Amino acid sequence: MQLNPYPQQPQQQLQDPLRVPRRQLDPEDILDIIRRNKSWIAGPALAGLVLAVVTAFLWPDTYISTAVIRVVPPQVPASFVPPNVTMRMSQRINSMAQEILSRAALTSIIETYNLYPRERQRLPLEDVIEKMRKAIDIGDVRTIRPTRGGANLTAFQISFAYENRYLAQKVTADLANRFITENIRERSSQSALTTQFLRDQWQAAKNELEEVERKITEFRMRHAGQLPDQWAASMQRATALETRAGTLNGALGRLQQEKLVTESEIRVLRDRINSIARVPGSKGGGTYVDPRVRALNEQIRAAEKNLAAMLQTYTENHPDVKRVEAQIELLRKRRAKYLNEGAGSAKKQTQPVLTPQQAAEIRRLNDELQRKLIEARAKDLEIRNTQRELEQVNARIQEIQSRLQQAPVGQQEYASLMRDLQLKQKRYDELSLKVKQSELATNLESRNQGEGLELLDPASLPERPAQPVRSVIILMGIFAGFGAGGVLVFLREIRDTSLKTLKDVRAYTQLPVLGSIPLLENDVVVMRRRRMAWLAWVAACLFAAAVMGGSIYYYYATKV
């Protein structure tokens, strides 16, 4: 086998340029790329600077005016006068904010201060109101701790952003005053409504209580003495009436006995008078009484009967009673005078003549007889009164006993009425207390001594605009321009597949490089190209300077 004295070298396989991966760039390559594409980087940077300056200075200033409102605690402690408004301050501020930021309120503010004149010409009013609503910021209620001691303050902040700093201050002050006024109105209104509601509830509870009391009164009247709580009282009353009836029976028996004794005494007195006035020697033993004495006696008896009848109606001090007593006394004096003078000398011979002793004895007996007759009539009157009272007591006893003998009626209904009475009374008492407390709270709110709002820091007059931050916008524009230039350079380099340096030749061809020939160009063409580039850059810079200067001049010329 013949060996080849010259071994063959392995042939280098050429790679497909479309499939060859790009080599990793080093700092020298990056500098070379920047050097080749400096115009593509500087151009977007200059454009970004111009756009940023124009945007920053044509963007209208926005001034933010701020006011701080302090929450003033109630002047009277809640333990003494509980407030009617128990909503937390943060919730009440949200509620007031909805009222203050409503369409009607914001429309009034816009028209008052002539806000957003350009926007109102080209936008609907709803959009303008929404824009203003976004420009208003109402902070949360928070606790502020003073730097130099003192008590902590509870406050919140209101701010308004607008292009005119004076109008921003006025609108912020208006909003703060609206919050303070709305808080007073809302607390007074809520307190008054609460008081009125409690009064209505109290009146309804009072009517219900009176209705239950009326039903209980009617029930008691219909079932008097038959209710469980009236049994003991009815028994005591029946016992007292029975005791009274026994007393009256004893008094009636005693009066009847005394009447019998008086009647027997009257009969004895009449017999004695008849025995004295009997005619001696007459047949049959007849009696004789002087006609005038008989007439006087009849007048006295009639007057005494009239007096007894009047005493049943009138008292002893009545004028008519006194008149009849005087008449009786006068008749008795006449009879006594006539008897003292004797029976008269012109009597018939058939009539006996009384001796002075007999006449005196008859007068004395007649007087005693009249007293006994009056005493008997008084006993009759007292007996009749006692009998009438006894009948009434017995009737009352029978009535009470008949009620006690019956079973208690309506126990369930009565118990239900009593339970309703207790519940209604308890509710009435609770509402009475609440009404008094609510009236005190309403009076406290009417004097503005409840929890309120107070302006801690008035609306500030901003010196510098809060927006836009021009330095930030300009820097962002420059960085955006450089970024856009970098993207353009990256895209150019990606699309450019030519070999630019010896490193590219060695990396992509895998061939040894023996030497390099520089690119030879016409000096005239090169100088012309450079002049055109410089002219373009100068023109671009001048245009950019003019545009930026114009925007800056417009800003300061139209600045308020």
DSSP string over 466-525: SB--HHHHHHHHHHHHHHHHHHHHHHHHHH-----SHHHHHHHH--------PPP--HHH
What is the per-residue pLDDT across 83-107, written as a single tens digit (0 to 9) for each? 877 777 778 888 888 888 889 999 9
pLDDT of residue 177: 92
**Average pLDDT value for residue range 496-516:** 71
* pLDDT for residue 48 is more than 70: yes
**Arithmetic mean of pLDDT over the chain:** 78
Give 419's pLDDT tier (boundaries 50, 70, 90): confident
Which of the four CATH numbers 1.10.730, 2.40.10, 1.20.1070, 1.10.287 does domain 231-411 have?
A: 1.10.287
Put simply, whether the predicted model's pTM sits higher than 0.85 gets the answer no
Section 18-36 average pLDDT = 72
Q: Residue 240's pLDDT is what?
A: 83
pLDDT at 288 > cutoff 60: no
User: CA dist 161 to 208, 461, 538, Å?
Assistant: 59, 11, 41
**pLDDT of 10 above 50:** no
Using CA atoms, how far residue 393 sits from 246, 251, 337, 380, 389, in Å, is 10, 14, 49, 20, 6
Task: State mean pLDDT over 247-267.
Answer: 81
At residue 282 the predicted structure's pLDDT band, cuts being 50, 70 and 90, is: very low
DSSP for 222-248 reads HTTT-SGGGHHHHHHHHHHHHHHHHHH
List the one residue out of 350, 374, 354, 349 whose CA is nearest residue 293. 354
**62 DSSP 8-state letter:** B
Least confident of 13-22, 249-258, 400-409, 436-445: 13-22
Confidence of residue 151 (pLDDT cuts 50, 70, 90): low
Q: Average pLDDT for residues 361-365, to the nearest whole number?
A: 79
The mean per-residue pLDDT over the stretch 214-243 comes to: 72
Q: Write the DSSP string, 130-153.
A: HHHHHHEEEPPPEEE--TTSS--E
Q: Which of 444, 435, 441 is nearest to 200 (CA)?
A: 435
pLDDT classification of 65: cutoffs 50, 70, 90: very high
**Residue 361 pLDDT > 50:** yes
Average pLDDT for residues 407-425, to the nearest whole number?
73
Which pLDDT value is given to residue 525?
74
Domains in the chain: boundaries: 27-59+468-558, 63-204+439-457, 231-411
Residue 19 has a pLDDT of 57
What pLDDT was estimated at residue 24? 73
What is d(CA 346, CA 348) in angstroms, rounded to the nearest whole number?
7
Average pLDDT (482-498) is 81
SS3 374: helix
Q: From CA 25, how far away is CA 17, in angstroms rounded?
A: 18
Q: Which two tokens stand for residue 198?
A: 């409690």
64's tokens: 């933010």
